[in-house]
Structure 1
Amino acid sequence: MDVCVLLFSLPEPLSGVIEGISAGMFLIGMLIAVISLLVYRQRVRKVAVQESPVVRMSMWKQGPTSGMYVGVRSSRRISSPVKAAHFESHLTKLQADSNYLLSEEFEDLKDVGRNQPLDAARLPENRGKNRYNNILPYDSTRVKLSYLEDDPCSDFINASYIPGNNFRREYIATQGPLPGTKDDFWRMVWEHNVYNVVMVTQCVEKGRVKCDHYWPADREPLYYGDLVVQMLSESVLAEWTIREFKISYEGRPSFPRVVRHFHYTVWPDHGVPETTQSLIEFVRTVRDYIDRAPSTGATVVHCSAGVGRTGTFMVLDRVLQQLDSIGTVDVYGCVFDLRLHRSHMVQTEYQYSFLHQCVRDVLRARKLRSEQENPLYPIYENFNPDYYRDFVYTGR
């Protein structure tokens, strides 16, 4: 009996050893699997960074003097350049599934620049100078006027410096003047050496006042503070009007300045013009005048709030220059840059989409011109030349 008990008790320690080995092998296998997963994810991240052409950032505040971004990390794109030859296919992807990717792009821009202080605009003394209480200039990019007498708030106007392709302060985006800020508007034009003013709103739209009538209605000069403004000429066209004003300082009437006023009259609030051709031709016209201006002073652009139609005009001006100079367009990057300097620039997804349509139609018009010059040039699929025949630009 003792021998039998001894024989049957031997397997017990052997089974314990086997269980221990199995547990160890399981833990080692789990460790190898975790390490392999971490290595794989790290490789995927490196490939993604190498393949992505965009720069990303977490904080969107930009120093207007240095032009440098602050707080950069790899989680936020700031540009998305597309070559002209690839733009048509790029837009097709954005518009697929009811503009799904385009909507995502626009949503991605929602909070850009919104972490900047607005202290000057929120001062009690300045609140009445803002047409809308949610459209305010950032302290870092606001346009400052000279102080008047002992008024410490007389330097404020709801206007922001906006960068262009040529200068960091190429534009001034501002709201449509109020009855109490018309003098400030003309003072800004005078003090900041402005030669061109672009207005992309009507004074009254759908029964609502969008902008005060801030210029002389006839040849009779009007006083705006210490400035005298007189209309020299007015050319009324189907979709815009071009005026010329002589502006002079009351104390120095012998040193006047001529300011051109480009008034686009067929752009509904929060909407877009009926055709891309109309706005493109207007932007081209303004750009030609700006390039011939005797000074490099900023160009003032305003609608009602100074963000939606104003931003759309500026972005279109910039991307058309990009196409002409480098053959690449970056709608997303331009809107991103503008929103660092003033909130809500290009205010609606409809306006953002319209900018892409404008670029597409310019490229199609160029394609048509090439086809006319060279009949053997390949033709776009589903392309209707009748729509674009009058849309071709020469010398571009």
Structure 2
Amino acid sequence: MVNFRKTVRKICFCCGKRKYETKSPEEDNKDFGGIENVAYEKENTMEAAKSRTVPEQKLSNVIQTHDFLEHYKDMISYDDINRENEELKNCFRSDVVSRVAQLPGNRGKNRYMNVLANEATRVKLAGSYINANYIEIKNSQTKDYIATQGPLPGTKADFWNMIWAEKSLVIVMLVQLVENGRIKCDQYWPFDEKKETVSETIEVEKTEENIMPLWTERTFYLSNGTDTRKVRHYQFTSWGGGTSETLPNISDLVSFIKHVRSDLPLEDIGPMVVHCSDGSAKTGLFIALDQVLRDLTEESFVNILGMVYQMKKCRQSLISSESQYKLIYDSVRDSLLGKFDETDAISDGIKTSLSVENLNEEELHKPYVNPALMDDSSSDSSGSLTDSDEELPTIIPNTMKATDITINDNSSSSGSEPFND
């Protein structure tokens, strides 16, 4: 029998010339198909995954805090912020993403096939796959965050299994369930106060829900039959829909970040789990702003380029545009100018106690309208919402037809879908 061999074209990184090599069909099939997750994990260790990344080209731009404002003016004048962002884009290759994510049995667990987990920092579940990464910014031994996509109907169990396995007690959600008529995230928590079995071993009970002008807070209790944990859930509801280029009002987001940080439990906890729709732009901005605001209080310098570089080493899709990257610099500038001094008072003063137990049936299902969207003057050049960024209720009204909503069909995801938090 003739052994057909197919030709594969490659590029030589030394001289740029095209090289050709051959693979047998049997060898080619080993790349993606015909292997189980467990077998792949045994064959491909963490060190093997790291060897597929680009050679170390660590990017850094340390700026002393007392020099930052003057340095910022120079960077604006010489377009250095955009240059830094371009350096970040060109610093990574696409082969750092997980091949496990591309296995036939796992493709449906990714919201978009062009927003995948980096292999070296991928969160690994026992017997399953989840599109999530540890984000290690300053110390590879310290996993401060987990960046992930919003759960799909078929990945809710994996999401809660990850929360339990990682001992995470804080979840930050940066997207509404429905935005501009499109489902952005499946509701992965109970609709009422009854316990809900979310996986084979875990039950979740929602005991509290407080709705505020800029965000909503919830309290969950997780149980595996022998142990119970309290998990806090913070959903930022005033970001707005649109594309990944849609930016929030900086003051609103900083107020939310400071509130979440001040409300963290005192005991040692696992990584803070942060998600939007696909775990890219909004997730990256939250993590970056949270970290840089902490640096301003704990350090005498900031290193935004180095910080974002470390973040993208962990999950390449974080911070994907110049406007997102510049927003980090703008937040440091505004913080040093004292523009955020009132945000602590705001985060404490705007709370409206709307516990679920105090709401009647009519109030419980009444759509929440963000007051910020009712005032045209609330929009500014920093990226706050406009009239076109309508917020839809997180609970779909019974009058809404199924045809009014566009559902992301993962079976047809081809990678052409843009980052769309």
TM-score normalised by structure 2 residue count? 0.65
- The 8 Å contact of residues 255 and 344 in structure 2, kept in 1 or not, is answered as no
Matched, 1:90 2:42: no
Deviations 1:12-50 (A, max 9, x none): xxxxxxxxxxxxxxxxxxxxxxxxxxxxxxxxxxxxxxx
Equivalent in the alignment of 1:190: 164
| Structure 1 position 388, deviation (Å) | 6.3
RMSD: 2.5
How do 1:15-54 residues align onto structure 2 when only pairs under 5 Å count? none
Deviations 1:326-354 (A, max 9, x none): 12111111110011011121122111111
How do 1:259-278 residues align onto structure 2 when only pairs under 5 Å count? 259-268=231-240, 269-278=243-252
| Structure 1 position 293, deviation (Å) | 4.1
Whichever residue aligns with residue 342 of structure 2, its letter is: D
Structure number with the bigger relative contact order (C-alpha 8 A, sep ≥ 6) is 2
In the alignment, the residues of structure 1 paired with residue 248 and residue 318 of structure 2 have an alpha-carbon distance, to the nearest angstrom, of 21
Secondary structure of the residue that 2:100 maps to in structure 1? coil
- The 8 Å contact of residues 49 and 120 in structure 2, kept in 1 or not, is answered as no
Runs (5+) with no aligned partner, structure 1: 1-61, 148-153, 366-386
Whichever residue aligns with residue 267 of structure 1, its letter is: W
Equivalent in the alignment of 1:337: 310
Matched, 1:111 2:90: yes
In the alignment, the residues of structure 2 paired with residue 312 and residue 256 of structure 1 have an alpha-carbon distance, to the nearest angstrom, of 32
| Structure 1 position 110, deviation (Å) | 0.5
Equivalent in the alignment of 1:122: 102
Asked which structure has the greater CA Rg, the reply is 1
Runs (5+) with no aligned partner, structure 2: 1-45, 347-421
- The 8 Å contact of residues 254 and 340 in structure 2, kept in 1 or not, is answered as no
In the alignment, the residues of structure 1 paired with residue 146 and residue 110 of structure 2 have an alpha-carbon distance, to the nearest angstrom, of 16
How do 1:108-257 residues align onto structure 2 when only pairs under 5 Å count? 108-114=87-93, 115-147=95-127, 154=128, 156-165=129-138, 168-226=142-200, 227-249=202-224, 252=225, 254-257=226-229
Q: 1:207 to 1:64 in 2, by over 3 A?
A: farther
Secondary structure of the residue that 1:333 maps to in structure 2? helix
In the alignment, the residues of structure 1 paired with residue 343 and residue 269 of structure 2 have an alpha-carbon distance, to the nearest angstrom, of 30
How many residue pairs get aligned? The number is 294
- The 8 Å contact of residues 244 and 260 in structure 1, kept in 2 or not, is answered as yes
Secondary structure of the residue that 1:121 maps to in structure 2? helix
TM-score normalised by structure 1 residue count? 0.69
- The 8 Å contact of residues 320 and 359 in structure 1, kept in 2 or not, is answered as yes
In the alignment, the residues of structure 2 paired with residue 216 and residue 228 of structure 1 have an alpha-carbon distance, to the nearest angstrom, of 10
In the alignment, the residues of structure 1 paired with residue 97 and residue 283 of structure 2 have an alpha-carbon distance, to the nearest angstrom, of 22
The runs of 4+ residues in structure 1 deviating greater than 3 Å are 62-66, 69-72, 164-167, 271-274, 387-394
| Structure 1 position 286, deviation (Å) | 1.5
Percent identical across equivalent pairs?
Answer: 36
Q: 1:316 to 1:274 in 2, by over 3 A?
A: closer
Q: 1:101 aligns with which of 80, 85, 96?
A: 80
Secondary structure of the residue that 1:340 maps to in structure 2? helix
Secondary structure of the residue that 2:337 maps to in structure 1? helix
